[in-house]
Structures are given as C-alpha cells and as structure tokens.
Structure 1
C-alpha cells in the first residue's frame, strides 16, 4: 500500500511538474529568442517539459515515501507537500530564467531605442564622415566585462553645428534590461567616448525627455576632452499596416459606369479579380467590341495583353475583333522573321525573343476562343507562326512558341475534319 500511494503521488506531481516546466520553457523561447528554425523551439519545449516531469516524479515519490514513514502519514499530506515543492521550484526556476534573460524594456507595450546626441568640439575636430572606422555600439556589462553588444546608428547626415560644437545624433536599440549600459563611440578609428549611460534597467515615461548635457569621463586624447552628451529613450512605433489594395479597387469599380473608357473596364477582367467583377466587366466589353478591337491593336503592351484576356473571355465575338486578333498574329509573324535575322550579339536579341514568347502566349489563347466560337479557319496563322518559330527553336525561346503552336494545331480539325 505504501508503494502504491507513493506511485500515485509521484504520477500526480510529475504531471504538475511537466505542466510547470512546459510554461517556463514556453516563456524562455521568447526571453532567449530561441529560433523555431528546424523545430528548435519545439524540441526545447518538449525536452524541458520531459525533464521537469521526471523531476516531479522523483519529488513526488520520495516525498510521499518519507511522509508515509513518519509518525503522521497521509496521502493528501504527501500530495500537498510534493506539489508545494514542485510549485516553489518552478517559481524559482522561472525567476532565475527571467533574471538571466535579455528582456528588452518597454513603455506602454512599445520597445525602446536609446537616442543620444554627442557634442564634439569644432576647434579640435572636423565633422565625422561615413566610413567603416566611424561607428557607435551599445554594450551591456556584467560587472566590468562586456557581455553583449549591438551596433547603433550614427545619423551623420543630420550632424549640425551649435555654439561651437558639432552635434552628432545617434540611436541604438535597447536590447536588454540586464546590466549597466555602456556607449562606445569611435570616429576615424579613434575612441572618441566610452561611458556608462545613467539609465535605469526599466526606463519610464520621464526618460522620454532629453537629459541635461553630461560630460564624458576623462578621455586620454586631449582632442575629445571636455565634450559631452545627452540622451533619452524613444518608443519604437511600428509602421502602420499597408492599406488593403482591395478597398481602393472596390471603390474604383463602384465608380465605373457603362460609358466609362473601356481601358478602365479591362482592369477587372484579369484572373485575380472577383468573379462578379469579371462578369460585370465582360458584359460591358461584349457590347463595345469595336473599341476592344482598337485596344487589341495598341502599341502599349499592357493594354494589348488586357484586351487579349478580354477576348479569351468573350462569348459572342464580332468580325471586327476577329480581324484585330488576326492582325496581331500577322504582327507576330513579322516579328519572328525579324528575330530570325538577329545575331546573339544584337543588344535586343534576348529581350526581343522573351517579348515574342509572351505576346504569342496571349495571342494563341485569344485565337483559340475565336476558333471555338466562330467559323473562322484557325489553322493558317498558327501554322505560319509555327513554321517561322521552328527555324531557331533549338537555340532560343522560340521552342516554347513551337510547343504551344503544335498543341494549338493538334486541337484544330484539319481539312478532313480530323483532330490529331
């Protein structure tokens, strides 16, 4: 019976210790910035929770075994004492972990930068210039040893002259509340200042105002003697979230009417638009196909491509649109002939073939829809493009045009009505 009771208390204490250790590990993941890369944070949490659970089992078993061997044994007495030990040890572990962690201070939930202005004499020094040998670091001390540091930002573009001094602004992220904060300023590879900032571990709102000008401690180089600094903390205000692009787009769509320029309606036929907008836009475009044909012939690539996307979606296609798309196919033929005369050393050689490939991609899909919905003979223009593109297909982007053109032709019945 004594053994069974001890096992029961051990299991109960182990469960409690696992839970407590898990919470401590979860907090440490944030306090110590444990990366989640490759599951490191998860492995850490599980490992600490399991170790805590094992410790809880041992504490519960040993405690209850001792209690049951005493003058006044009792199950709940052993359970209460073992749980108390687990809670106390967990609290101490959490406190110890928190004290050793680099937890940055906050004001009203905002992280903080340390803003500093260095006042340098203009008689002894020239204004500092940007270089790898001019920098400032914020360091935290453990006793007299630098435990950790981060490089700050010297705003050399904002340096100004006041009362015979150069005023050099700088900022550094206050990355920890542990230890004293040491500023180290180096100008042209010379230490211009090294001093401890009299800032408490947890700054308050009163520290958001500039301090008085404070003298540097004695500097070895006479050039830097007698200069001073002032400081304050400033909240790091996150940038506002980017506006939802959907809102202005929805407003612009609502403002359209059937008489609005067709180019504005074309913006709402792309594949990333809402279906209801596409349907509304296409109903307007269906009724204004003469204007659509003019946009198909545009020299503006974006306008022409948007017009081709509209053609791909048309249900009733008029001859004027068919003629415009056929003319664009003829233009593609002409451009492929021109490309076939180019040499690889031609400055336009690469970009020209990429543009041709993209243009054909839009064109052949629009031409396929026309073939599906009209009685036009769709094979000749595609065949002409295929014959021209095959000439240099093995060495250029024309191979993609060849593949698509062949697939296009395979879906069109030949003179005998046979589809390949």
Structure 2
C-alpha cells in the first residue's frame, strides 16, 4: 500500500515539473511560462458562519485590552498630527529655514512696547533729566563742574553724594569737623594744624572717602613732606594765613556739618494719553521693581506660603514686619489719572512718595487749578489720606486713578461768572 501511494506521489511530482528536456536540447531560447495559481474555492455557508463566530470571540477577548490602550492611541494620534503640521510648515513657501533636532525652537514675536521708556531723574544742580543708568556719572561730573566756583560747598557735597554707606560718611564728616574744631580751639598749637596721612584713624575714617582731599584743599590744607620719627612722611598742613582767618574755618565747619547729599527728584515724564480700551494695561521696565531674578522666581512660592500663614496665629509685630517687607518690593510706580472725557494724564513717582505728590502733579496740569477735585481708585474708593504713600495705598507698581471735580463745591460755583466748565480739564499746551 505504501509503495502504491509513493508511486502516485512521484508521478504527481513529475507532472508538476512540466515537460521534460533532452540533455542536448538548448532551453535558453524558450521563454519561461508563468505558473497560473489554482483557483481558490469559495468557502461554504457553514464555514463562513464558523469564521464569524471565531472573530466575535476574538473581539470580545481583546475588548478590555483596547479600552486600556485608548489613551495611548489618542496620544499617538495627536503626536502624529503635530508631526504632520510641522512638516507642512517646514514645506511652506513662507518658511525661512529648517531647524535641526539639536537647535532650540525660536518663536517670532513682536517687540514689547513699554508704557514708559524708563526712570529718569532731574538734577538739582543743572536741572537736566538724567536716566537712572547714568545717574552716578552725571552726579560726579556735575559736582566737579561746580567745584571751581564753590570749592567748600561742592567738596562737602562730594563727600555726602559720592560715597556708599551713610554711617561711614557720617564718621568721615565728624572726623574732619574735629580736625577743624581743634584748630579753632587751639590756633597757636602747631600740632593741630598737621594731619599725618599714615595715621590709622585718618586711614580708617577719612582716607577711603571720595571728596576728602578736595575738602581739605578748599579749607586751606596742602600736602607737604615733613620729618617724622627719623623719616619723612606726607602731611596735610594748614597754611599760616588760614590760621589767622578763623572766620573762614568756622564757615567751612558749618558748611561741612549742614551739607546734605544731592537729592535727585524723579522726572514725572508727564504724558497725555488719548482714550483707549487698554488704559489698565501696563508694561513696565525692570527699574520699577526692587526684586532680583531669584526673588521673582520665588514670588509664586511666597504666595503659597502666605496662604498657609493665613491659617497660623501670628503676633502683631510679625504682621507689621511682613507688611513692611511687602511695601519695599517696588521702587517706582506709574500712575494714570483718568478724566471724565477719558483722557489720561500719566506720571512716574517713587513708590514711597505720598499721595500729596500726585495731587500736586494733577493740580499743576489743570486749567482751573484753584478748583477742588477728588481722586478715587479703580474700585471707586476716595483717596483722601494725602500723607500715605503709594505703596501703602496699593497703587504700585502701576495704577489707574479717576478724577472728578468736587461735587459739593461745583454745585456752589456753577452759577458764578467765569467759572470753569465741567468738560475743560487739562491745559491746552499739554494736549
């Protein structure tokens, strides 16, 4: 039986191999005929039903797995959509270049337009408006310029204005005053008219302060080499004619004692803004904030801590200390005063300035500066405490304040001849 089936199998194999060839026959010229696949039989109705049942069982089995991976499928779809959009943008005719994987993505954005260009100060000597960045250089140049005309006054101003640390400045002033007072008390004593430069007290208290040389020269001292302990050392020596002119020394003492540092007032940088829907939008320069980069990063954490502290019991001293710290967070503030015609008057102030400064600023800009007016916050609260700072009032680092004429006074003067009309506010030259 096995031999029979083996023989049949061999015959079938030879039949599938096709027609035979002789060994001497050239088969290269004959084209190879492709084998036509046998036609697949169509499944019967029973087979179709069995297949459908099997597919249903498989779908039911994998249904839980599909649910568990649906979020991953959606994430993959979003990533694929983002990739297609990126390729589309890269192929866009408006694309200016391509970005490699190692290069960070650069987002084009319009330049930020600041509400005010910066902070400027008005020099009390020259009257010039100086930017905050060039304040120290201008201060020094201006003092040197006036030093020729008023040497004693300007040298004392130099000591007060060009040195850091108020305690150190005061020690220097007290030491120089003591030198002069000793001469006034003992005008015939030669030892009081000399100051040795290598003296430890002089080195520690005076020599490191800018302006001390200019003051000593203005008071009548000059540098000389004098013998001291078998050597020669430099001394500041008061000239003999100055010793005879004690009144001049008294004037120098008075000037040195009463002179104060130069106080540069903040340039209000007054601007009149036309009505706009963005009156409460402020873009301020960094000079308005008394915060370092690290402090700004910690600001959000501080807010979180403040919420937690609100649930803790704190003493009055603790609360007052925290309030004072918050008041020092800002250096300057930008105030916009909105008039009933929606015109805005803008000015720059120190955060610790009083509300009275804003009242005077507004009054100087009014046509009828003699009329009383009322300033109120954006929430409608009247601002009446003029001796309270902007920081304490919460008007930092920027705020919008509303202006109205005092209604009680306007009712009394409405019928007077020549009274200002209610719709005339700012001076024409400002507009």
TM-score with structure 1 setting the length: 0.22
TM-score with structure 2 setting the length: 0.22
* Higher relative contact order structure (alpha carbons within 8 Å, sequence separation ≥ 6): 2
Tell me which structure has the larger Cα radius of gyration. Answer: 2
